[in-house]
Structure 1
């Protein structure tokens, strides 16, 4: 009787372990796919922004329209896959005008980039607003 109970418990333990491993592997895979989708949306967004700006500066209207379509597609994917704060920052940037010509647009875009970094799990030690603005827009930070 005791051997039968021990055998049954062993089999039950193996079955429960297999189901638990399968569940955890599926959860991990879903999280990985979400992160990959999110990362690709961010990359596509920034690529489209830079190509739109380049096309506008060069006066290439057809290329600009093509990149605006890609920008809209990337923006839609950010709305689908992005974290709440990133989507809010994107909306703030868009509401500010989304042309990167005014100070409020540049600040909104900079905050958007910083929130993307946070959403990707990057733990920045200091406030990067000035550094990001300087790198993206060649704006020299004010220092003491």
Structure 2
């Protein structure tokens, strides 16, 4: 393939009737006008209103002369909100303490297993002293005086 000249695919022009119906190979309906290339109509121009020019600068409304006093203090709502917050805080602290206790229990259990394994490895099953540091010499002297 020759790469010096770019190859563009050739698209055959499609003929269209006056109403925009495409005719590809064989026209099936009889043509009422000679076929021509179809060019869609240009979009209709968008009608914009008159150009707006600012005539006045809008300022924010000034605050009222006196601040209105609420009809009543919503103290029950504040108490309820405070109680809910305290309850949620108590639950959170309870869960945190429970998690710390569970972690401490598991660490303590692992430490106890380690101490037990160390004690079993460093001692023998009994005897006098020595702590499992070698063989024990046993001397047995039996005399029968009833002979």
Could you tell me the TM-score, scaled by structure 1's length? 0.37
TM-score by length of 2: 0.36
Of structures 1 and 2, the one with the larger relative CO (CA 8 A, separation 6+) is 1
Larger helix percent: 1
Larger radius of gyration: 2
Structure with the higher strand share, 1 or 2: 2
